[in-house]
Each structure stands twice: as C-alpha cells, then as structure tokens.
C-alpha cells in the first residue's frame, strides 16, 4: 500500500477548515461557462453518482494503490508524516483535527461507540503527531468501528462536507466541468484549505496569476494546466510530496486528451502502477 502522498501541513488547527462560503456557492442547476462567459447546458458534474464513484476510485488509486475505496474504511496507520494516525477513506488524521471531527460526529449519532472513549485523547493530540492516550488499542478499535455502517456513513458525510462538496461548488463557480471539479477535489484532499502557502486556496491564487478560469472568460484547459502547475509547485515544497505522478500521469493525461467531462474509459498510472475504469 503506497501512502507517501498523504501529507498535510502538521499542526494545522483543522486541515478541514474549508471556508463555509465554498460549500454555499455553486448550488442550483449545473452549467458550463464558455470562453466568453456564457452559460450552456453541460454534461453531469462530479456530483453525478457515476462521476462521484469515478472520483472515489481515482483518489483511492493515489492514496491506497487500489480502486476499492470502500475497503479503506478500516485503514489506519501512522505513516510518519508528522500528522499522527492517518485513517479511513480520505486519510483523516489525528494531528490535524479532522479525525476528531469525524469521531465526534460518529459519537453524536451513536453514543457509546467503541471510539467515543478516545475523544479526550484526540482533543489533546490535535496539532501534534502524538499517540498519547490512543495506543495501544486505538487502531484495533478503529477497525472494529469500520464494520459499523453508521461509522462508514459518518466517514462519507465528513468527506462530502469538508472536501467533495466544497470542491464541486468552487469548481462550478469557476465554470469547470467534471475533470476540473475533480482536480480541485484531489487538491483539497491532499493539501486542505488552510492559510499556508500550499493550501488549496493559495494553489488556486497562484494559478490565477497565470490564467483565468472559464467563469472569467478564460480557456478551461489553459486554466487547469496553470492550476496543476501550481499544484506541482505546492507538492514539491515537501520532500514527501516529491512524487507528482497523481498529477503527471493521471490528471494531466485526462486533460491532454481533452476529457473535461471525465468520461470513461479512463486509463492512468500512479507510482508507475496502471489503472483502468471501463
């Protein structure tokens, strides 16, 4: 299992601190914006069920070297990136606040669950790589919880609230189709949306220095290339990010082919491993 790209800035109060406005924009009928800024009917966005399933598989290929994203509910380990335990379908981390949010949501919905007793420890270790109060039983209890459909649903809901829905909303506002929305989603998964220079919002700002999105009259392809250039820059700021294949041999492959609607079949590579969705 390759996990080298699960890095997020340590000690961030909450890597999931996505601005609420991101989740509020972009509601309503999906549209595409041409180079002149006029709206037109479009293919389904990333929140179409079939497209969303593709997105989950694409992220899982990079995060877990597998297309079976649902097998990752039980995943947990410390990958030595300074963020404590990394776990679940989107890499919730004990050191960055989102794992705490997830376990709190699960406990709100199902008091007395097997992870509830770890909430005090999760609050204490937030912002650190410490396992204090979690070892030795936390990983085993996480795997037990992952058998509970209520915990699986909590993971799905936190993923959507903090990553998926904001990415789709911001993508729609920028006039991006399914591929662009996915490119935003993958960046949010890895970098979060804090104030540091390598966060999603600052990657986007860096891209905007060089190109305009369709909503501002720019070329969708040109803008997405600028965004991916900024993303690669951000990834290379940390040694653990140095493998940029999830951009180079995945997202750019789709972009070069002009597959802005993320239509199947899809063929790509991550870390040299080949994947296919028919």
Q: Where in the sequence numbering do the catalytic residues fall? A: 63, 81
Buried b (16+ CB within 10 A) or exposed e, 18-34: beeebbeebeeebbbbe
Structure tokens at 90: 């989107």
Structure tokens at 102: 């997830």
C-alpha 22/C-alpha 30 separation (Å) is 16
Query: How many C-beta atoms surround the C-beta of residue 14 within 10 A?
Result: 17
């Amino acid at each position: 299992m390759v996990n080298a790209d699960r890095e997020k800035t340590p000690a961030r109060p909450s890597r999931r601190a996505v601005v609420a406005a991101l989740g509020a924009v972009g509601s309503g009928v999906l549209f595409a914006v041409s180079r002149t800024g006029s709206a037109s009917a479009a293919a389904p966005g990333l929140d179409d069920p079939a497209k969303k399933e593709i997105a989950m598989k694409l992220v899982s290929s990079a995060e877990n070297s597998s297309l079976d994203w649902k097998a990752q509910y039980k995943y947990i380990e410390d990958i030595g990136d300074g963020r404590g335990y990394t776990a679940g379908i989107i890499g919730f981390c004990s050191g960055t606040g989102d794992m705490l949010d997830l376990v709190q949501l699960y406990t709100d919905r199902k008091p007395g669950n097997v992870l509830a007793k770890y909430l005090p420890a999760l609050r204490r270790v937030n912002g650190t790589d410490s396992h204090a109060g979690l070892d030795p039983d936390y990983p085993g209890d996480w795997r037990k919880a992952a058998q509970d459909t209520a915990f699986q649903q909590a993971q799905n809901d936190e993923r959507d609230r903090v990553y998926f829905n904001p990415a789709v909303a911001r993508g729609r506002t920028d006039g991006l189709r399914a591929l662009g929305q996915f490119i935003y989603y993958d960046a949010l998964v890895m970098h979060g949306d804090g104030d540091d220079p390598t966060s999603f919002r600052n990657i986007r700002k860096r891209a905007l220095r060089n190109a305009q999105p369709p909503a501002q009259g720019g070329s969708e392809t040109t803008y997405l290339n600028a965004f991916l250039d900024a993303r690669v820059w951000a990834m290379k700021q940390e040694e653990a990010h140095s493998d940029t294949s999830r951009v180079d041999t995945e997202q750019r492959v789709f972009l070069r082919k002009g597959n802005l609607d993320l239509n199947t079949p899809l063929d790509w590579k991550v870390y040299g491993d080949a994947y296919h969705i028919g």
